[in-house]
Amino acid sequence: MASVDICICTYRRTFLAQTLGSIASLDHGGHTIRVIIADNDAVASARDLVEGMREQVPFPIIYVHAPAANICIARNACLDQADADFVAFVDDDEVVTPGWIAALVEKAGASGAAAVLGPVRAIYGPDAPAWMVDGDFHSTRPVFVGDTIRTGYTCNVLIRWKSPYSGLRFDLALGKTGGEDTAFFYQLTALGGTIAYAEAALVEEPVPADRASMNWLVRRRLRFGQTHGMLQAGSRARALAIVAAKIGYCGAMAALTAFSPVLRRRNWLRAVLHVGVAGGLLGVRQAAHYGQPASR
């Protein structure tokens, strides 16, 4: 049996109560569980909610006030508190399924991977556009390059918390723009760690109305691309030539699939992603997304 510290970073989000409620229903499979919550608000706004949930959650809860409005400060506060075989991250707007943690640990044991990703299934509201629901644009799964996962995300992950990985921390410079998880997992794989995928380790995330739009998806893809471009090594001129070709191809595919509400938008978002990569390669400054009241 293993020990797991489940980490949740929170910022003015009352949905945290539902996240904790789902963790309370975990089938932990005999593993030792703790929950670490890092409150990233300037004031300790989540403290009362967390204290009120303690009796409902059958695992120890550690509350840390980690101000302010920089997600990396909160993520690193969780890692500083971690003292287990594995660290898991889940977001404060998600709910975990009962077999979540057991599936992650089982895959880690079978694969020997340094990190294990699980899927995040988007739950759309009744007012979400039909094309969005049909295309399932908000769900999260790893990107495979051949048989390899090169980077990861923190909305559903288990990390083997031993040297050299336990020395990793999130880059504070990316704590408002995003992309800190991508950079973190690039560091992990640079240390020789591999990333595996546990399909059964399911997490669900309701999609709020302010994210159920093409504009939000465009901003998100642009930021993803900027992060990847910023982290690319090698010849910038060669990388820019490749990304220009990808932009042209995806733009052409968007035109050719104009008849399909889903395919047209999917191809256009791929083009936007590569535009972001070009921006990252050229050093275009990323916009701040985290800690903005309108998006929370």
Mean pLDDT per 10-residue interval, the chain, length 296 residues:
97 97 94 98 97 96 95 97 98 98 98 98 97 97 92 96 96 86 94 97 97 95 89 85 96 97 97 94 73 45
Domain count, the chain: 2
Task: Say if residue 197 is in the same domain as residue 247.
Answer: no
Task: Say if residue 133 is in the same domain as residue 180.
Answer: yes
Task: Say if residue 49 is in the same domain as residue 186.
Answer: yes
Task: Say if residue 66 is in the same domain as residue 205.
Answer: yes
pLDDT attached to residue 264:
97
Task: Say if residue 194 is in the same domain as residue 264.
Answer: no
Predicted TM-score (pTM) of the model is 0.92
Residue 60's CATH number: 3.90.550.10
Task: Say if residue 202 is in the same domain as residue 224.
Answer: no
pLDDT attached to residue 231:
80
pLDDT attached to residue 167:
96
Task: Say if residue 148 is in the same domain as residue 224.
Answer: no
Task: Say if residue 237 is in the same domain as residue 117.
Answer: no
pLDDT attached to residue 283:
85
Task: Say if residue 144 is in the same domain as residue 258.
Answer: no
pLDDT attached to residue 295:
38
Task: Say if residue 185 is in the same domain as residue 230.
Answer: no
In terms of DSSP H, where are the helices of the chain? 16-24, 47-53, 71-81, 100-111, 130-135, 180-190, 214-231, 236-256, 261-281
CB 223 within 8 A of CB 289: yes
Task: Say if residue 113 is in the same domain as residue 251.
Answer: no
Which residue among 211, 241, 257 closes a domain?
Answer: 211
Tell me which residue range forms the domain holding 291. Answer: 214-295
Task: Give the residue from 248, 244, 268, 270 showing the smallest Cα distance to 257.
Answer: 268
Task: Say if residue 135 is in the same domain as residue 265.
Answer: no
Triad 197, 171, 121: Cα angle to 5°: 30
